[in-house]
Amino acid sequence: MLEIAVCDDSETDLKAITKILHEICSEIKQEYHLSVFQSPHDMLKKQIKIDIGILDIIMPECNGIDLGKELKNKFGEFALIYATSYEDYCRQAINKVHAFSFLVKPLDKAELREQIIEYVQNPKEHKQNEEIIFKNVRDGDGNIIPIVRLKVKDILYCVYVKLQREIAIVLENKVYFYACVFERLSEQLENYGFAVNCRGSIVNLSHIKRLKGYTIYLDNGEELLLTQKRVSDFKEKMNTYFHGK
88 sits in which H/E element: none
Highest mean pLDDT range out of 30-39, 58-67, 70-79? 30-39
The pLDDT confidence band at residue 84, using thresholds 50, 70 and 90, is: confident
How many beta carbons lie within 10 A of that of residue 187, not counting itself? 13
Please enumerate in sequence order all residues whose Cβ is within 8 A of that of 201, keeping only pairs 6 or more positions apart, or say none.
Answer: 157, 158, 159, 160, 224, 225
Sheet containing 79-84: order of strands: 32-37, 2-7, 52-56, 79-84, 101-104
For 72-193, where are the E strands, in sequence order? Answer: 79-84, 101-104, 131-138, 144-151, 157-161, 166-170, 175-178
C-alpha distances in Å from residue 144, one per residue of 19, 28, 80, 137, 178: 47, 46, 31, 6, 10
DSSP sequence for 93-120: HHHHH--SEEEESSPPHHHHHHHHHHHH
Report d(CA 201, CA 160) in Å as an integer: 6
Q: What is the percent of the chain with per-residue pLDDT over 90, rounded to a whole number?
A: 63
pLDDT of 106 strictly over 60: yes
Please choose, from the candidates 145, 150, 65, 137, the residue with its C-alpha nearest in 3D space to the C-alpha of residue 99: 65
Please enumerate in sequence order all residues whose Cβ is within 8 A of that of 131, keeping only pairs 6 or more positions apart, or say none.
Answer: 72, 76, 77, 149, 150, 151, 152
164 sits in which H/E element: none
By residue count, the chain amounts to 245
DSSP sequence for 46-74: H----SEEEEES--SSS-HHHHHHHHHHH
pTM: 0.59
* Distance, first Cα to last Cα, the chain: 15
pLDDT of 93 strictly over 60: no
pLDDT of 203 strictly over 50: yes
The per-residue pLDDT of the chain, averaged, comes to 89
In this structure, what is the dihedral angle of CA atoms 181, 184, 190, 194, given to the nearest 10 degrees? -10
pLDDT of 96 strictly over 60: no
pLDDT of residue 36: 97
* Residue-wise pLDDT tens digits, 124-154: 776 777 788 899 999 989 999 999 989 899 9
pLDDT of residue 245: 40
Which of the residue ranges 28-32, 132-136, 146-150, 237-241 would you say has the lowest mean pLDDT?
237-241
How many beta carbons lie within 10 A of that of residue 236, not counting itself? 12
Q: Is 156 helix (H, G, I), strand (E, B) or coil?
A: coil
Mean pLDDT of 43-59: 91
